[in-house]
Amino acid sequence: MKRTMQNQMYAEPEKATLPASDMKLDLQRVALVVVDPQNDFLHEKGVAWGVVGESVTEHSVVQHLEELFRAAKQTDIPVFISPHYYYPHDHTWKFEGSLEKVMHSIAMFDRPGPLDTSNLQGSGADFVERYKPYLNDGKTVITSPHKVYGPEQNDLVLQLRKQRRDQVILAGMSANLCVESHMRALLEAGFEVAVVKDATAGAIIPEGDGYLAALINFRMIANAVWSTSETVERIGGLAR
């Protein structure tokens, strides 16, 4: 019963009051940005799976992200990854928000150092294995890591600007934290942003449903909110 009620809350409203999106993709301007496609979020052995796994599974996020990668590569749309890594010096921070405390306490996204990739393969900080053929093709841009939630502290905006890409298809993890923060920052920086609503998920904890919280804000703030199938169809249309 609880899950049925949540599914109803995720559904699009029968009588929307917000204006419909008029965003149209431009092959010369668009980029796919995926946030944190890493094992700690998306693998059943990841340290966050206990709180995000239900939402990831319900929205088929792992599969949908692969569909987005495939469509982008087939259409020659640039792909940018904004990853999350924590190094030993990050664990010396003198103050943290609630989720920062949790992530540090469970060693989420931990690596031994910014220049040290030892034991990265297959770790929680590593990319999901099925995505690697798309990400290790010599074309995908892997930005420097973001440290809290948004891209203000990494080079995502610089990399997008240098490629003259000002339209963003946004997906990844997690919905109300890093994805929403990336959406807000990119919009404030003058980008046009479409969020792929079923290529993200959120933690479901007693304090609230992170996915629902984000979905409401996506609808109110983003230039467009599309499903994966809608997004893939729109990307395919650019090749014709």
Tokens of 71: 């469509």
Of residues 147, 156, 201, the one with CA closest to residue 179: 201
* DSSP 8-state code for residue 239: T
Over the stretch 65-74, which tens digit does the pLDDT of each residue have? 999 999 999 9
**pLDDT band, residue 4 (cuts 50/70/90):** low
What is the sign of the dihedral through the CA atoms of 188, 191, 194 and 195? negative
Of residues 178, 197, 137, the one with CA closest to residue 36: 178
Q: Check: CB of residue 195 under 8 Å from CB of residue 170.
A: yes
Tokens of 87: 């190094």
Whether pLDDT at 3 is above 60:
no
Q: Lowest mean pLDDT: which of 16-20, 31-35, 193-197?
A: 16-20
**Whole-angstrom distance, CA of residue 46 vs CA of residue 34:** 18
Looking at residue 95, its amino acid is F
**pLDDT band, residue 2 (cuts 50/70/90):** low
Could you say which architecture CATH assigns to the domain 27-238?
A: 3-Layer(aba) Sandwich (3.40)
* Ordered DSSP codes for 159-226: HHHHTT--EEEEEES-IIIIIHHHHHHHHHTT-EEEEETTS----EETTEEHHHHHHHHHHHHSSEEE
HSE-up of residue 29 (Cα within 13 Å, Cβ side): 12
What is the separation, in whole angstroms, between the first and last Cα of the chain?
A: 44
Over the stretch 186-212, which tens digit does the pLDDT of each residue have? 999 999 999 999 999 999 999 999 999
**Whole-angstrom distance, CA of residue 198 vs CA of residue 196:** 6
Whether pLDDT at 1 is above 60:
no
**Whole-angstrom distance, CA of residue 97 vs CA of residue 95:** 7
How confident is the model over 99-108, as a mean pLDDT? Answer: 93
C-alpha of 50 from chain center: 18
Q: Check: CB of residue 80 under 8 Å from CB of residue 191.
A: no
What's this model's pTM, rounded to 2 decimal places? 0.96
Q: How many other CB atoms sit within 10 Å of the CB of residue 111?
A: 21
In the prediction, which pLDDT does 99 show? 87
